[in-house]
Chain A
Amino acid sequence: MSTDSNSGNMIEIDREESNFHYDVEYKHDAGMGLSEDTIDYIANVKGEDQWITDFRKKALRVFHEKKMPTHWASEDLNSINFDEIRYYLSDGEAPKRSWDDVPNEMKETFERLGIPEKERKFLAGVEAQFDSEAAYSNVKDAVAEQGVIFVNSSEGLAEHADIFRKWFGKVIPTGDNKFSALNSAVFSGGSFIYVPPGVKVKHPLQAYFRINAEQFGQFERTLIIVDEGAELTYMEGCTAPKFETTTLHSAVVELVAMKDAKIQYITVQNWSANVFNLVTKRGLAHENAEVRWIDCNIGSRLTMKYPGVVMKGEGARGEVISIALANDGQHQDTGAKMIHAADNTTSNVVSKSISVGEGRSTYRGQVHIPKHLKGCKNNTECDALLINSKSRTDTYPAITVRGNKHSTQHEASVSQVSEEQIFYMKQRGLSETEAMSLSVNGFVNDLVREFPMEYSVELKRLIELEMEGSVG
């Protein structure tokens, strides 16, 4: 089932909600381009320890040495001009604990996006990042009293170095890829979270990332450590106004789940269609620990993101649940990386993508089960739905299994919305658009249910809006 009538102009609707920006006076601006001076500037503004500056400078060298991965990734990466991006912008203020203290432009920004309204409803803590630094950060007293630390990266490294330095850059080394090196050189903002042993944080912690400035790069760095037997759910949302120029978002997110711990990390990414979203995310799961990535990519021009889990302890579990929607001018290149490094580890990947108009969605996966292990299991399913005749989808998994004590299975399928289904619904009085949208929602429904209530409602609405005008 497909139709090709003007799918273009009616589709941007949902992004309009976040498509606005304010002229903000930035006190600190590292200027265009990237050099050691940029790093000195950032280090100076932040008043960082020398070891961090050294870490950054080493990372900058790695970034320059590494080639663009265009031998396998999209050539579109070459459209990023690293000299025409500003790497650090902030108002020089510490994050506000009280919403009333947040500067007006930022407050209005977040209020238009519904933050911290969401916090009042059900969150245990919120951090809101505006360009390079957090504008607002607050943890509910009850959660802080349990010993949970929820701060931005600068504060984490300065005041809790004993906890965070041990794992900082260990799950994702600087040289993992070109963009993790870039992040390591100029990182700013992001969340540092520590949950003490046995503490089960009942409500999710949330971070909200907002890019306001033009020709800007946001490089947040997140490190979450959940100690033995503890549990945490973390959610992040991202938006930016639409500019004509390129905006870059390149985050590094490291998760550490100690023995028996559980981490659930939820992302709803709705960057505007000029953002290059090149993110490295990986979790380390110790004995019997569980790391789950629940990932939804709707926005951006090009997203390259393959959340991974290294199952280091016996009985560890890793999971990636991924929904991607690629519309005109978008390429969602997403996937999962499952590294089995201990016996009896299990991983599960379920990915569903929808390509609308001229959108392109790609699944790229890696499953690695090395020698001398036993009882490892992987299940991978990826399904793609193509809506129009110009839509495109690709699947590139790589599975390595050594030994006869494991089992892996990978399945992928590509399909269309069936004509019979649409016909049936139309015959029952639904318009073609409604029928298509219902059908698409049905396709992702079992995954949408994995998101918390508020998000799944929002997701369904986003999908409905994205589908509007794609048929008819």
Chain B
Amino acid sequence: MSLKEIPPARSFLDPPEEAREELPDWYKSSRSDAWMSFQDIDWPKRSDEAWRFANLKKLSYENLYDAKESESNDAEQLVASSLSLKENAGQILFVNDRVIASPLLNEEFSKKGVIFQPLSQALIEHGELVQDHFMTEASRLGSAKYAALHRARLRNGFFFYVPEGVSLTVPVEVFHWVSGNSASIFPHSLIVAGPGSSATVAEYVTSIDDEISFCCAVCDIHGEEDSQLTYLRTQNLSEKAQSIYQLSSRAASKAKLKTFNLDLGCEWVRNESVSRLVGEGATSEMLAVSVPEKSQEFDMRTLQLHEQRNTSSNLLYKNALYDDSKTTFAGMIVVEDEAHQTDAYQTCRNLLMSDTSEANSMPGLEIKADQVRCSHGATCTPVSKDELFYLQSRGVKEPAARQLLTFGFVKEAVDRIGNNSLEEVILGKLGRRFNRIRAR
């Protein structure tokens, strides 16, 4: 192959590659519009209220390229290592935003009309259904520029649709692998739970190597009337990676939505999570666990938006910080004018494990309705000396006692997932992280 024929690496600041010919027109123009918006919107600045305490120096713009197709010999090995639950209802595997094995969906569910497909396929086969739900939520917490970037450059992701009244008893799973130096991926997750349906989705984002990479992801969840949906995501990218992740959920009347985020990897993480309660009686639970170490920085912004009366939301974020790591939590509860009889709770707890770790908390409330029960709490504390002493007096050595207490600290959030097999997966990942930290 002559030099000329090697396609040049495409920086994410270059115009994105053209969408494939067979994709619907609305999608093609959505991409080009998004690229225009991306160029129009200003880069975030630290002086923006939405980026207060953020360390933008760690967010680089240059030398990041659209991820290329990875070497084929990785694929088989990755398929083999994409194991998590003993049983799932379906799975899709991606490397660098490309599908590497035939997507699976239990026949029982496909017969009932469940759609679980790579987005590239769903855009063609279920174009209208995707169009109705695709990127319909505004980016509200500061990363509008990155939402536009995502929409302009995204290559793939998954579409999961559960029709009215259908219940999936076991989760579907999505694996994203990232490989190669300076690779950027833009995975899109779109989940629609029809009226009265119930389902669980687990998504795992992991690096294969320890190269620099960039993940700019968007996940939208639409919970229609009476639906029940649990969504879980773990992020374990390389220690040099950067990640911007925007999650928004929309709960219609009596819908019950639950999201859980586990962040372990990346040098720099920005998670923006919005939960809108748009129908009476909707409930939302937002859970997250982070265990940053070394110089990792995790920046989490959340919004619980109560738009209708009689809605409830509950947020619990737990961070255990080691070494020079830093977390920022900015949570906001907004109760709109008419959203009376609302219950909204927000708790962020930081456990500081070293003298050089730093936790910033900005728990906020904006209440415009009445008959509201609202509270938030934020704490920053070291491991309790009394608890440590108690364990030591029972013969547990200090490092083990510390690990036990930290594990117990984060487990409170994991326990609320409400699915034993997924909780085991999460606790397994946390256990490995804690063991590694202790062994250092």
- A residues near B (Cβ < 8 Å) are 2, 71-72, 371-372, 384, 386-416
Is A384 a contact of B377 with CB atoms below 8 Å?
Answer: no
Besides A401-B358, A407-B381, 14 other A-B contacts (C-beta < 8 A): A71-B49, A371-B356, A384-B367, A388-B370, A393-B367, A395-B364, A399-B362, A400-B360, A401-B350, A404-B357, A410-B361, A411-B376, A411-B377, A416-B372
Decide: A386 near B367, CB < 8 A? Known: A397-B361, A409-B377, A414-B372: yes
- Which residue of the partner chain A has the closest CB to B49? A72
Partner of A398, one of B52, B377, B381: B52
Q: A395-B376, A410-B379, A414-B375 are in contact. Are A400 and B358 (CB under 8 A)?
A: yes
Contact between chains at B380 and A397 (CB < 8 Å): no
Whether B434 is near chain A, meaning CB under 8 Å from some CB there, is no
Sample (8) of A-B pairs whose CB atoms are under 8 Å apart? A72-B49, A398-B360, A399-B359, A400-B358, A402-B359, A408-B380, A410-B379, A411-B375
Which residues in A have their C-beta under 8 angstroms from that of B371?
A: 2, 389, 416
Closest residue of B by beta carbon distance from A396: B364
Please name the 5 residue pairs, one residue from A and one from B, whose CB atoms are nearest each other, closest first: A401-B380, A404-B382, A395-B365, A414-B374, A404-B352
Residues from chain B with a CB closer than 8 A to the CB of A396 are 362, 364
Cα-based distance from A387 to B372 in the complex (angstroms):
11
A394 contacts which of B361, B365, B370 (Cβ < 8 Å)?
Answer: B365
CB distance from B266 to the nearest CB of A (A): 21
Q: Which residues of A contact B372 (CB under 8 A)?
A: 386, 414-416
Q: A391 to B370, Cβ gap below 8 A?
A: yes
Question: What chain B residues lie within 8 Å of A412 (beta carbons)?
Answer: 363, 365, 375-377
Q: Does B373 contact A (CB under 8 A)?
A: yes
> Is residue B368 within 8 Å, beta carbon to beta carbon, of the partner chain?
yes
Q: Which residue of B lies closest to A414 (CB)?
A: B374
Of A392, A397, A406, which is within 8 A of B378 by CB? Answer: A397
Bound-state CA distance A114–B55 (Å) is: 54
Within 8 Å CB of A71, what residues of B?
47-49
> Would A389 and B378 count as touching, CB distance under 8 A?
no
Chain A residues with CB under 8 Å of B52's CB are 398
**B142 to A: closest C-beta gap in Å:** 12
How many residues on chain B are close to A (CB under 8 Å)?
A: 40
Separation of A393 and B364 alpha carbons in the complex (Å): 10
Query: Contact: A386 with B355, CB < 8 Å?
Result: no
Closest approach, in angstroms, between the C-beta of B45 and any C-beta of chain A?
10
Residues of A within 8 A of B352 (CB): 401, 403-404, 406
B53 at the interface (CB under 8 A from A): yes
**B366: interface (CB < 8 Å):** yes
Contact (Cβ within 8 A) A392 B340: no
Q: Closest chain A residue to B372 by CB distance?
A: A414
Assess whether A389 is in contact with B365, with CB atoms less than 8 Å apart: no
Q: Which residues of B contact A (CB under 8 A)?
A: 47-49, 52-53, 337, 340, 350, 352-383
Q: Residues of A contacting B383 with CB < 8 Å?
A: 404
Among B357, B365, B377, point to the contact of A403 (Cβ < 8 A): B357
> What are the residues of chain A within 8 A of B378 when measuring CB–CB?
397, 399, 408-410
**Residues of chain A contacted by B357 (CB below 8 angstroms):** 402-404
Report the separation of the CA atoms of residues A416 and B335 in the bound assembly, to the nearest whole angstrom. Answer: 14
Chain B residues with CB below 8 A from A411, complex form: 375-377
Do B354 and A403 touch across chains, with their CB atoms under 8 A apart? yes
Q: Complex Cα distance A404/B356, Å?
A: 8
Report how far A412 CA is from B363 CA in the complex, Å: 9
**Are the C-beta atoms of B374 and A405 separated by less than 8 Å?**
no
What CA separation (Å) do A221 and B355 show in the bound complex? 40
Set of chain A residues within 8 Å of B360, measured between Cβ atoms:
398-401
CA–CA, A400 and B352, complex, Å: 12
Residues of B within 8 A of A416 (CB): 370-372
Taking the closest CB of chain B, its distance from the CB of A361, in whole angstroms, is 10
Residues on B with beta carbons closer than 8 Å to the beta carbon of A386: 367, 370, 372
* Pairwise interchain contact A392-B368, C-beta atoms closer than 8 A: yes
Q: How far is the CB of A212 from chain B (nearest CB, A)?
A: 37
Q: Determine the distance from Cα of A88 to Cα of B379 in the docked complex, in whole angstroms.
A: 47
A397 in complex: contacting residue of B356, B358, B363, B369, CB < 8 Å: B363
With a CB–CB cut-off of 8 A, which chain B residues contact A384? 365, 367
Partner of B365, one of A399, A401, A409, A414: A414
Interface centre among B340, B366, B367, B383 (most CB of A within 10 A): B367
A392 engages B367 (CB within 8 Å): yes
CB distance from A343 to the nearest CB of B (A): 12
Which of the listed residues A389, A409, A412, A414 has the most CB atoms from chain B within 10 Å of its own CB?
A414
**Complex interface: chain A residues within 8 A of B365 (CB):** 384, 393-395, 412, 414
Write the nearest CB–CB distance from B118 to chain A, whole angstroms. Answer: 41
Find out whether the CB atom of A401 lies under 8 angstroms from the CB atom of B359: yes
Q: How far is the CB of B308 from chain A (nearest CB, A)?
A: 15
Complex Cα distance, B259 from A382, in Å, reads 28
Interface residue from A371, A397, A409, A415 paired with B364 (Cβ < 8 Å): A397
Cα–Cα distance between A386 and B373 once the two chains are bound (Å): 11
Are B355 and A403 in touch, CB under 8 angstroms? yes
- The minimal Cβ–Cβ distance linking A326 to chain B, given in whole angstroms, is 13
In this complex, what residue of B is CB-closest to A386?
Answer: B370
Minimal beta-carbon separation of B52 from chain A (angstroms): 7
Q: Which residues of chain A come closer than 8 Å to B49, judged between CB atoms?
A: 71-72
- With the chains together, A314 CA to B359 CA distance in Å? 23
Cα–Cα, bound, A405→B365 (Å): 29
Interface centre among B340, B359, B368, B380 (most CB of A within 10 A): B380
Distance of A169 Cα from B378 Cα, bound (Å)? 34
Among B353, B354, B365, which residue has the most Cβ atoms of chain A within 10 A? Answer: B365
CA distance A389 to B49 in the complex (A): 28
Minimal beta-carbon separation of A454 from chain B (angstroms): 34
B376 / chain A contacts, CB cutoff of 8 Å: 395, 410-412
Q: Given A391-B370, A404-B355, are A399 and B361 neighbors across the interface (CB < 8 Å)?
A: yes
Select one of B340, B358, B375, B379 contacting A409, CB under 8 A. Answer: B379
B326 CB, min distance to chain A CBs, angstroms: 9
Q: How far apart are the CA atoms of A391 and B368 in the complex, in Å?
A: 6
CB of B53 within 8 A of CB of A400, answer yes
- Residue numbers in A under 8 Å from B353 (CB-CB): 404
CA distance A387 to B369 in the complex (A): 10
Q: Are B350 and A410 in contact (CB under 8 A)?
A: no
Which residues does chain A contribute within 8 Å of B53, judged by CB atoms? 398, 400
Complex Cα spacing A390 to B370, Å: 8
Q: Which residues of B contact A414 (CB under 8 A)?
A: 365, 367, 372-375
Task: Give the Cβ gap from B371 to chain A, nearest Cβ, in Å.
Answer: 6
Among B350, B364, B374, the residue within 8 A (CB) of A413 is: B374
- Per the bound structure, the CA–CA distance linking A80 and B422 in Å amounts to 57
Q: Shortest Cβ distance from B376 into chain A, in angstroms?
A: 5
- Give complex CA distance A127, B326 in Å: 49
Task: Please indicate the chain B residues that have their CB under 8 angstroms from the CB of A72 in the complex.
Answer: 49
| Smallest CB gap from B52: residue in A | A398
CB-CB < 8 A to A408: which residues of B? Answer: 378-381
Residues from chain B with a CB closer than 8 A to the CB of A387 are 370
In angstroms, Cα B48 to Cα A410, docked, is 24
Highest count of chain B CB atoms <10 Å: which of A71, A391, A400: A400
In the assembled complex, how far is the CB of residue A404 from the closest CB belonging to chain B, in whole angstroms? 4
Q: Smallest CB-CB separation from B353: which chain A residue?
A: A404
Please give the distance in Å from A239's CB to the nearest CB on chain B: 30
Q: Once the chains bind, are B380 and A407 in contact (CB under 8 Å)?
A: yes
Chain B residues with CB under 8 Å of A413's CB are 374-375
Expressed in whole angstroms, the minimum distance between the Cβ of B144 and any Cβ of chain A is 16
Q: Which B residue sits closest to A408, measured CB to CB?
A: B380
The residues of A that contact B367 with a CB separation of less than 8 Å are 384, 386, 392-394, 414
Cβ–Cβ < 8 Å partners of A407 in chain B: 379-382
Q: How far is the CB of B338 from chain A (nearest CB, A)?
A: 9
Query: What is the bound-complex CA distance between A414 and B365, given in angstroms?
Result: 9
Q: Which residues of B contact A415 (CB under 8 A)?
A: 372-374
By beta carbon, the residue of chain A nearest B362 is A398
Q: Which residues of A lie under 8 Å from residue B340 when comparing CB positions?
A: 389
Chain A residue contacts of B358, Cβ below 8 A: 371, 400-403
Q: In the complex, are the beta carbons of A410 and B363 less than 8 A apart? A: yes
Bound CA–CA A105/B371 (angstroms): 48
User: A407 vs B47: C-alpha distance in the bound complex, in angstroms?
Assistant: 28
